[in-house]
Structure 1
């Protein structure tokens, strides 16, 4: 059941129910125990759901940053031109993001998620991009150095 739930929440859409709807419903029952990441939200196939997620400000406190790296480094997934046309970013932001992509795709992904906004100016709040107080700190063991990074 847990794996099925994680799989359903990881995808932005499952059937005809959006991720934000699943998260809203399940969070009522599992308050403080259920979180959603924003890893795939800026992909061109996900833009209708990005709008919904930005507008669902009632669940923003249960969102955490995720990158889906190396997917953002594949120059086919995130289209700044579509983000611009659909009003998520400005022309100036699109230009800066395009330049940033050529320098560092992972930083591009982070900046893109910080910049996108909904039709009424809704954005992912800064807390989404910080360590969540209810989640344990992430520790990565480096295979090369053998010590926590």
Structure 2
């Protein structure tokens, strides 16, 4: 993501970022690198959000990325709607006050051509 030659060509997908098989260092790095956020795309990796063993809100709390008060509502949401859980989880995680930018979730602009005169 830091290679200048790829700046306008490389995008990243965060669909599996907060699964249990990812390192806490990766989580923290992505949350802190706000300069990467305009090039990151929200994805769900559906149906994986419905596979309970792949996500651990307890681990996110343990690693300091999720407030313990968010766990119960997120777990209720997961039982009701795994895709909405995935989105809500990614909107709630934070490291030292840094969250994923709203740009990560506003992915449409990556796939449509901007009108003439708009960069």
TM-score by length of 1: 0.70
**CA spacing shift, 1:132–1:34, aligned 2, 3 Å:** farther
Aligned to 1:24: 2
Work out the CA distance in 1 between the residues paired with 2:42 and 2:29: 17
Listed as ranges, the matches of 1:72-111 within 5 Å are 72-111=49-88
Structure 1 unaligned blocks of 5 or more: 1-22, 138-149
| 1:130 Cα offset (Å) | 0.9
Work out the CA distance in 2 between the residues paired with 1:103 and 1:132: 26
| 1:132 Cα offset (Å) | 4.4
Q: Secondary structure at the match of 2:8?
A: coil
TM-score by length of 2: 0.86
Greater relative contact order (Cα 8 A, min sep 6): structure 1 or 2? 2
Aligned to 2:116: none
* RMSD, aligned CA: 1.3
1:61 aligns with 2:55: no
Runs of 4+ in 1 over 4 A off after TM superposition: none
Q: Secondary structure at the match of 2:54?
A: coil
Which whole-Å deviations, capped at 9, do the CAs of 1:2-54 have from their partners, x for residues lacking one?
Answer: xxxxxxxxxxxxxxxxxxxxx222xx112222110111111112133111111
Which whole-Å deviations, capped at 9, do the CAs of 1:38-81 have from their partners, x for residues lacking one?
Answer: 11111112133111111122211111101111111111001011
Structure 2 unaligned blocks of 5 or more: 113-119
Which whole-Å deviations, capped at 9, do the CAs of 1:80-131 have from their partners, x for residues lacking one?
Answer: 110111111111111111110010011100100011001x211101111013
Q: How many pairs are equivalent?
A: 111
